[in-house]
Chains A and B, each alone.
Chain A
Amino acid sequence: GEDVEQSLFLSVREGDSSVINCTYTDSSSTYLYWYKQEPGAGLQLLTYIFSNMDMKQDQRLTVLLNKKDKHLSLRIADTQTGDSAIYFCAESMSSSASKIIFGSGTRLSIRP
């Protein structure tokens, strides 16, 4: 079945890199996404990667996809206090153009 798993918490020091990991089960994933949710706000799409890519970089964000291991990661370089949020990994499948399957979210907290 469709399942997306991620660790619940991550704490990093300001200025360090953050790496948030995610695993998924459905090999027919077409797109994989990272969403950010700040307190009281909606889900903001940070970046997404098509399943035939293995890396995507966008400024401080780097997404790595290992299709063999069904593993997705999000690296945030030079983590800032404004990066504190919950980060959701998500996938869409070729069988459905309508829905996105979300992970539980990883709460990223930044230490001074």
Chain B
Amino acid sequence: EPEVTQTPSHQVTQMGQEVILRCVPISNHLYFYWYRQILGQKVEFLVSFYNNEISEKSEIFDDQFSVERPDGSNFTLKIRSTKLEDSAMYFCASSWVGANTEAFFGQGTRLTVV
């Protein structure tokens, strides 16, 4: 069964460092998403990406964040200068069409900023 894969499963980084979280969406999907879940809090939408550009982003997704689809298979989330409050589980998702249908989620990358 096709699945969304994320690497690494756990990343520890020092405050102020840049991190790149990687995702391989399902191959024929057109929409890609990043969500995050701070421990004990809700899963929050960060950004959606379609046709090589951001289609929607939340208030959380400020200038410290960027997304890229560098080739035909990977979808990355970069945090330029990490803060302690960026510590969270980050989920990548993809769907064939928009969110009004089934979005498949990866297992998540746990980011710990120390």
Contacts and interface: CB of A to CB of B under 8 A. Distances in A.
A43 B43 contact: yes
A98 B31 CA distance: 8
Given A42-B105, A42-B108, A44-B105, A97 B99 contact: yes
Contact of A99 (B4, B41, B99): B99
Contacts of B103: 45, 100
B41 A31 contact: no
A41 B99 contact: no
Nearest to A104: B42
Given A99-B48, A100-B99, A43 B31 contact: no
Interface in B3-21: 4
Contacts of B102: 45, 48
A40 interface: yes
Contacts of B31: 98
Interface residues of B, number: 27
A15 B108 CA distance: 31
Nearest to A50: B100
Contacts of B93: 43
B81 interface: no
Contacts of B33: 98-99
Interface of A: 4, 30-31, 35, 40-45, 48, 88, 90, 92, 96-105
26 contacts: A31-B100, A35-B105, A40-B107, A41-B107, A42-B91, A42-B107, A43-B43, A44-B105, A45-B103, A45-B104, A96-B56, A96-B99, A97-B99, A98-B33, A98-B45, A98-B50, A99-B33, A99-B48, A99-B56, A100-B35, A100-B99, A102-B35, A103-B42, A104-B41, A104-B42, A105-B42
